[in-house]
Structure 1
Amino acid sequence: MKIVLSGFYGLGNTGDEAILKAIVDNLRSELDNPDITVFSLSPEKTSQEHKVKSVYRGWRHENKQKVKALREADLLISGGGGLLQDTYPTKFLFGPLPYYLLIVFLAKLCGAKVMFFSQGIGPVTSTWGKILMKVFANMANFVTVRDQYSKDYLHSLGVKRPETVVTADIVFAFQGTEDTSAYDSLGLDGSERIVAVAPRPWFEQEEEYIEKLAWTLDRLIEQRSVTPVFVPMEPPYDTKVSKRIIEKMEHGDKTKLLGDHFTPNQFYQFIGKADVTIALRLHALIFSALSNVPHIGLSYDRKVESFLKRSGMWKHSFTLEEFNREELLESALYSLDNSVEVKQMMEPNVEALRQEAKRNVYLLKEKFGGLK
């Protein structure tokens, strides 16, 4: 089967690169020698890392190659991740939402089937964005979404023609390999209690949450002698936020900051060595769940809340707009002091999510496996 992948690939976001690795690895595990082409902003790097064909994703050049790839393809996989949203400005045909939907339209013109794969939907708030969704998203042949909220939201936008099935984020089917590069880079001696911290920039809430998080980390250092390690999932943006948090801390000299050159697998392997994770980044939380590491989310988006409810950690987590530092400290202390109990609670939830993630590919085989 010839497959084209369209997503937020080749832009250096660890979560999206983890999605790409998980999709490619699981397609190869379940399909007979799939021929995979990825639309990427860094096609040479993507091709080298994943042993796939790759075409430049933007409209500036390689448009003939994109059309050729779609004409030859049996299936376009759009996703995974939160592609279909207009949080960032959408102006006519410019912006993430028009881009991904135009790729879908182009695929249909070229004769390929289309699957929205393990997607999180929304928010789509602009009138133009809603029109685009109703027109172009209904062209898909089949849809899987990573939570019930996304399915309901998709239907509320008038996207009802393709069958839609709730599964889980494909990163729950991530196939990691042992690699201690990230951990070794920090010069730790193995005795530390690590709190992995994965922040991100976020509009008007940024300054307030930075101060609260800095205070919380200081108290954890004082009360439990932890070593906070910042994990920049999307450099350089997360690196800059991490440094601002460290500057606000009284004990910033007792923190560590991972370099921004590590692969998704290396970040995943590092988070697996943490005692607790505190994160805004969804895929840092998913990496934690996969490694059975207690995790506390600061939810800036419905996708984070939806995941935390499924992992069982929402009662220990908070919305970014409403949390206070004392409650965050209490939650972190509880997770550190009762890790065995927390892990036992999480384990069956995470295993269920792992099986649901794999179901994305099983459903693809069921719906499109007859394509040659």
Structure 2
Amino acid sequence: MRALLSGYYGKGNGGDEALLATLLQMLPSHVTPVVLSGNPEETRDRYGVETYNRMAPLAVLQVLRSCDALIWGGGSLIQDVTSTISPFYYGGLMALAQAMNLKTVAWAQGIGPLVRSQTRVLARQTFSNCTKVSVRDRASASLLTDWQIPYTLAPDPVWALESQPVPGLWDLPAPRVAVTLRSHPQLTQARLANITRALVDFQKATQAFILLLPFQKSEDLSIAEAIQPHLRDVSRILSLSDPQLLKGVFKGVEMAIGMRLHSLIMAAAEGCRCFALSYDPKVNRLMEDLEMPGWDLASLPDDPNLISLTWMEHYANGDPLSSEQIQVLVDRALIHRDVLNAALS
């Protein structure tokens, strides 16, 4: 069986690459993956899979005809807040696969936000015609319940991604704290200045070595480069493109401060204390599920001293997830593998 995997792959986003790596890890052995990517050569070389340019319509149509199944490969693909085109791309591809009588799987989806009525209609129609649907959060599950569409609910599959040790990480000074910020309208210059000031004070108080982790270079690297001069000699920008290495960073980290959803999932899965800076409902859902401390960026305190003191308190007294809690989440995340096995048998 050949399955075409469609997601936000090959775009340099560590979270989406982690979803692809986990999907490849979970695919049944009798299934040959074919991946649509924004960078087909890089994806082919990293994962050893057949790849095609996701934006080449003729090639996509031809490869779809050669496949037996289409899998939406995880994450917030069907939402219309950051992109109005994205849901029509993924929805159109799914509708085409369904018209061609392929098995279709909406896998590990985080649905929404859906603010436009036409997007909601498209989403409801394509999800209702899927062979199997799995979602990663209760809000997505609630939406499908309202639409009377059967689904499986399980934690984000990246909980179950196998991490790899990062060469040279243990040579850096300890203890270490990882920081993952991304470009976003809510991360204003004033808020970034306050976060930077708070990080400087936090570092002086804890003597922690700060790892600045850009999860997507195009969005995150410039922010890391703006912060790093304020933490000269006590920080390092660590740019990693392999998602298993990216998750492996958190094995050697005491605490993570993060905006990106998958930075927080990876950190929590590796036993780190986590502090969230939320820019999106999906981050708030994770905070609620794990009782993870944090702030919405929109309500970030204006006082850098209050920010740093809050981080110091969590660094000193906050608890990471227990090994038992982590194992439960990993085991439940593997339910997404069961969905693939059932759909592609």
**1:113 correspondence with 2:103:** yes
Out of 67-76 and 288-297, give the one that drifted further: 67-76
Partner letter of residue 41 of structure 1? G
Report the equivalent of 2:202: 220
Any idea what the Cα deviations from partners look like across 1:298-339, whole Å, max 9, x if unmatched? Answer: 1111111212233332xx222121132455434422332236
Any idea what the Cα deviations from partners look like across 1:150-204, whole Å, max 9, x if unmatched? Answer: 1113455xx433x1121111111101233325x27xx62x4x2211000001114
**1:349 correspondence with 2:317:** no
How many residue pairs get aligned? The number is 343
Indicate if the aligned counterparts of 1:194 and 1:273 stay in contact, CA closer than 8 A.
yes
Which stretches in structure 1 are left out of the alignment for 5+ residues?
none
How many angstroms apart in 2 are the aligned matches of 1:280 and 1:204? 11
Report the equivalent of 2:2: 2
Distance of aligned partners of 1:288 and 1:89 in 2 relative to their CA distance in 1, 3 Å threshold: closer
How many angstroms apart in 2 are the aligned matches of 1:349 and 1:119? 22
Give the deviation of 1:80 after TM superposition.
0.4
Indicate if the aligned counterparts of 2:134 and 2:154 stay in contact, CA closer than 8 A.
yes
Distance of aligned partners of 1:33 and 1:367 in 2 relative to their CA distance in 1, 3 Å threshold: closer
**1:322 correspondence with 2:290:** no
**1:51 correspondence with 2:48:** yes
How many angstroms apart in 1 are the aligned matches of 2:259 and 2:220? 10
Equivalent residues in 2 for 1:127-166, closer than 5 Å: 127-156=117-146, 159-161=147-149, 163-166=150-153
Distance of aligned partners of 1:154 and 1:330 in 2 relative to their CA distance in 1, 3 Å threshold: farther
Secondary structure, in 3 states, of the residue corresponding to 1:85?
coil
Give the deviation of 1:89 after TM superposition.
3.8
How many angstroms apart in 2 are the aligned matches of 1:86 and 1:207? 26
Report the equivalent of 2:59: 65
CA RMSD between the two structures: 2.1
Report the equivalent of 2:191: 209
**1:255 correspondence with 2:235:** yes
How many angstroms apart in 1 are the aligned matches of 2:191 and 2:87? 28
Give the deviation of 1:267 after TM superposition.
1.9
Any idea what the Cα deviations from partners look like across 1:91-137, whole Å, max 9, x if unmatched? Answer: xxxx1110010110111122211111011111111233223223333
How many angstroms apart in 2 are the aligned matches of 1:147 and 1:261? 27
Distance of aligned partners of 1:284 and 1:271 in 2 relative to their CA distance in 1, 3 Å threshold: same
Any idea what the Cα deviations from partners look like across 1:258-310, whole Å, max 9, x if unmatched? Answer: 2x354222222222211110000111111111210111111111111212233
Indicate if the aligned counterparts of 2:178 and 2:210 stay in contact, CA closer than 8 A.
yes
Secondary structure, in 3 states, of the residue corresponding to 1:236?
helix
State TM-score, norm by structure 1: 0.86
Indicate if the aligned counterparts of 2:164 and 2:247 stay in contact, CA closer than 8 A.
no
Give the deviation of 1:253 after TM superposition.
5.1
Give the deviation of 1:252 after TM superposition.
4.7
How many angstroms apart in 2 are the aligned matches of 1:261 and 1:338? 30
Indicate if the aligned counterparts of 2:103 and 2:343 stay in contact, CA closer than 8 A.
no
Indicate if the aligned counterparts of 2:132 and 2:339 stay in contact, CA closer than 8 A.
no
Secondary structure, in 3 states, of the residue corresponding to 1:129?
helix
Partner letter of residue 74 of structure 2? G
Secondary structure, in 3 states, of the residue corresponding to 1:321?
helix
Report the equivalent of 1:272: 251
Secondary structure, in 3 states, of the residue corresponding to 2:334?
helix
Report the equivalent of 2:81: 87
State TM-score, norm by structure 2: 0.92
Distance of aligned partners of 1:33 and 1:207 in 2 relative to their CA distance in 1, 3 Å threshold: same
Give the deviation of 1:142 after TM superposition.
1.8
Partner letter of residue 196 of structure 2? A
Partner letter of residue 67 of structure 1? L
Partner letter of residue 140 of structure 1? C
Report the equivalent of 1:41: 38
